[in-house]
Amino acid sequence: MASPTDTEPTDQERERRRFLLLVGSGALGAVGLGLAAATLRFIEPNVLFEEDRRFAVGRPEDVPVGTVLVLVRQRVYVVREEKGFYALSAVCTHLGCITRYEAEQKGFFCPCHGSRYALKGTVTGGPAPAALVRLHLSIEREQLVVDAGRPAASQALLELPA
Amino acid sequence: MSKLLRALTDNRAFKSLVRHGYPEDARTRALAVYSNLFLHIHPLKVRARAIAFPRTFYLGGLSAACFFLLTLTGVALMVFYRPAVPQAYQDMKDLEFVVTLGVFTRNLHRFAAHAMVALVFLHLVVTFYRGAYRRPREFNWALGVALFVLTILLSYTGYLLPWDQLAFWAVTVGTKMAAAAPWVGERLRFLLLGGTQIGENALLRFYVLHCVALPLLAVVGIAVHVWRLRKDGGIYLGPAENTPLADSEKKAVDHEDLVSTWPHLLARELVAFLGITLALVLVSIGFNAPLEAIADPNLTPNPAKAPWYFLGLQELLHYYSPLVSGVVLPGLAIAALAVIPYFDLNLIRAPLWGEQRRSRLALLWGITFAGTGWLIFAGAHPVWPLIVPLLVIAIVMSFAALPSPPTALGRWLAQRSLPFWIFTWFVVISVALTVIGIFFRGPNWDYVLPWRDGVYF
Ligand code: HEM
Ligand code: FES
What pLDDT, in 10s, does the model give residues B110-157? 999 999 999 999 999 999 999 899 888 999 999 999 999 999 999 999
Sorted by where each begins, the domain ranges of chain A are 9-43, 54-159
Nearest CA in chain B to A129: B321
H/E stretch holding B149 reads helix B138-160
Taking contacts as CB-CB distances below 8 angstroms, the residues of chain B near A110 are: 300
How high is the pLDDT of residue A114?
Answer: 80
* Ligand 1 pocket test, candidate residues B229, B230, B261, most atoms within 8 A of CB: B229
Is the predicted pLDDT of residue A135 greater than 80, yes or no? Answer: yes
Determine the average pLDDT of the residues in B32-58: 90
CATH number of A54-159: 2.102.10.10
Taking contacts as CB-CB distances below 8 angstroms, the residues of chain A near B300 are: 97-100, 110-112
pLDDT tens per residue, range B193-223: 998 888 899 999 999 999 999 999 999 999 9
Residues 6+ apart with CB under 8 A from B174: B156, B306, B310
- Taking the CA of B228 as reference, the closest ligand is 1
How high is the pLDDT of residue A47?
Answer: 82
Q: Judge whether B325 lies within some domain.
A: no
How high is the pLDDT of residue A133?
Answer: 92
pLDDT bracket for residue B174 (50, 70, 90): confident
* Ligand 2 pocket test, candidate residues A75, A89, A91, A97, most atoms within 8 A of CB: A97
8 Å CB contact of B300 and A112: yes
Last residue of a domain, one of B232, B265, B295: B295
Residue B7 backbone dihedrals phi, psi, to 5 degrees? -60, -40
Q: Is A95 on the interface with B (CB under 8 A)?
A: yes
Q: Judge whether B3 lies within some domain.
A: no
Q: Judge whether B101 lies within some domain.
A: yes
Q: Distance between CA B18 and CA B222 in Å, rounded? A: 26
Q: Do B235 and B342 fall within a single domain?
A: no
- Nearest protein Cα to ligand 2, atom 1: A95
How high is the pLDDT of residue B74?
Answer: 96
Q: Is A40 on the interface with B (CB under 8 A)?
A: yes
Q: What is the mean pLDDT of chain B?
A: 88
Q: Distance between CA B330 and CA B333 in Å, rounded? A: 5
Q: Judge whether B196 lies within some domain.
A: yes
Q: What is the ipTM of this complex?
A: 0.74
pLDDT tens per residue, range B306-354: 888 988 988 888 888 888 888 899 999 999 999 988 876 655 555 677 6
DSSP secondary structure, B168-222, as one string: HHHHHHHHHHHHTSTTTHHHHHHHHHTSSSSSHHHHHHHHHIIIIIHHHHHHHHH
Residue B43, domain CATH:
1.20.810.10
How high is the pLDDT of residue B314?
Answer: 85
Q: Do B369 and B288 fall within a single domain?
A: no
Q: Do B289 and B353 fall within a single domain?
A: no
Percent of chain B past pLDDT 90, that is, above it, reads 47
Is the predicted pLDDT of residue B388 greater than 70, yes or no? Answer: yes
**Nearest CA-CA partner of B67 in B16, B121, B115, B4:** B115
* Ligand 2 pocket test, candidate residues A110, A117, A132, most atoms within 8 A of CB: A110
How high is the pLDDT of residue B347?
Answer: 56
Is the CB of A127 within 6 Å of ligand 2? Answer: yes
Is the predicted pLDDT of residue B240 greater than 70, yes or no? Answer: no
Alpha-carbon dihedral sign for residues B247, B252, B255, B257: negative
pLDDT bracket for residue A73 (50, 70, 90): confident
Q: Do B288 and B371 fall within a single domain?
A: no
Nearest CA in chain A to B197: A50
Q: Judge whether B444 lies within some domain.
A: yes
pLDDT bracket for residue B248 (50, 70, 90): low
* Residue of A70, A113, A123 for testing the chain B interface, max B β-carbons within 10 Å: A113
How high is the pLDDT of residue A125?
Answer: 86
How high is the pLDDT of residue B257?
Answer: 80
Is the predicted pLDDT of residue B251 greater than 80, yes or no? Answer: no
Number of domains in chain B: 2
Question: Taking the CB of residue B407, how many other CB atoms lie within 10 A of it?
Answer: 8
Q: Distance between CA A93 and CA A112 in Å, rounded? A: 11
Determine the average pLDDT of the residues in B418-443: 91
- Taking the CA of A112 as reference, the closest ligand is 2
Is the CB of A93 within 6 Å of ligand 2? Answer: no
Is the CB of A91 within 6 Å of ligand 2? Answer: no
Is the CB of A88 within 6 Å of ligand 2? Answer: no
Query: Residue B86's beta-bridge partner residues?
Result: none
Helix (H, G, I), strand (E, B) or coil at A59: coil
Whether cis (ω within 30° of 0) applies to the bond prior to B303 is yes
- Taking the CA of A125 as reference, the closest ligand is 2
**Nearest CA-CA partner of B423 in B346, B353, B359, B354:** B346
Q: Do B138 and B285 fall within a single domain?
A: yes
Is the CB of A95 within 6 Å of ligand 2? Answer: yes
Q: Which residue has the higher pLDDT, B347 or B26?
A: B26
Q: Are B164 and A16 in contact (CB under 8 A)?
A: no
Q: Do B180 and B272 fall within a single domain?
A: yes
The DSSP 8-state label assigned to residue B341 in this structure reads G
Among A49-63, A81-95, B30-44, B219-233, which is the least confidently predicted range?
A49-63
Residues 6+ apart with CB under 8 A from B335: none
Q: Do B291 and B341 fall within a single domain?
A: no
Whether cis (ω within 30° of 0) applies to the bond prior to B385 is no
- Nearest protein Cα to ligand 1, atom 6: B60
pLDDT bracket for residue A117 (50, 70, 90): very high
The strand pair at A68-71 and A54-58 is best described as: unpaired
Q: Distance between CA B213 and CA B191 in Å, rounded? A: 15
Whether this prediction's pTM lies above 0.80 is answered by yes
| One-letter identity of residue B41 | I
* Residue of B85, B171, B173 for testing the chain A interface, max A β-carbons within 10 Å: B173
A51-89: b or e for each residue (b if 16 or more CB lie within 10 Å)?
Answer: eeeebebeebeebeeeebbebeebbbbbbbeeebbbbbb
Domain that holds residue B388: 337-453
| One-letter identity of residue B340 | I
pLDDT bracket for residue B253 (50, 70, 90): low
